[in-house]
């Protein structure tokens, strides 16, 4: 079973027990977080795809640690003008472990049956 979810304008493909790095979250170490923007879930051979998200689907994860990635060096250079600027950047991230992928079967607010009854 795997799922694809969105956080911080990035999409991640995850399975239960997987550890991933996501952009820095405002959560304490050991705290459980829930990701609600689930795009699709694959269970056995069935794939459910949301428009844009699956209603009732969420992913529970546990925050393991907050760290910074490796330093990326940036060099600006203009030839013949003696312009050289060096700087570095380290991106903050949060390491989370996927605990559970949950999919409940809710009817969405805009389902076809409700539109047919209201017309």
Q: What is the 3-state secondary structure (H, E, C) of 57-73?
A: EEEEEEEEEEEECCCEE
pLDDT for residue 104 is more than 90: no
How many Cβ atoms sit within 10 Å of the Cβ of residue 13?
Answer: 13
**What is the pLDDT, as a whole number, of residue 106?**
61
C-alpha to C-alpha distance for 22 and 95, rounded to whole angstroms? 7
pLDDT for residue 115 is more than 50: no
Residues 43-84 have pLDDT tens digits of 888 999 999 999 989 999 999 999 999 999 999 999 999 999
3-state secondary structure of 110: coil
CB-based contact 5:12 (threshold 8 Å): yes
Q: Which of 57, 56, 79, 84 is nearest to 3 (CA)?
A: 57
């Amino acid at each position: 079973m795997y799922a694809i979810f969105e956080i911080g304008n990035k999409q991640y493909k995850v399975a239960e027990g997987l550890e991933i790095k996501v952009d820095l979250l405002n959560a304490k170490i050991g705290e459980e977080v829930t990701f609600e923007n689930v795009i699709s879930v694959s269970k056995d051979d069935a794939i459910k795809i949301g428009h844009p998200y699956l209603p009732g689907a969420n992913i529970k994860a546990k925050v393991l640690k907050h760290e910074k990635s490796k330093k990326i060096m940036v060099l600006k250079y203009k030839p013949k003008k003696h312009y050289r600027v060096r700087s570095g950047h380290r991106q903050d991230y949060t390491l989370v472990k996927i605990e559970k992928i949950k999919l409940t079967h809710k009817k969405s607010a805009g389902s076809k049956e409700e539109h047919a009854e209201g017309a």
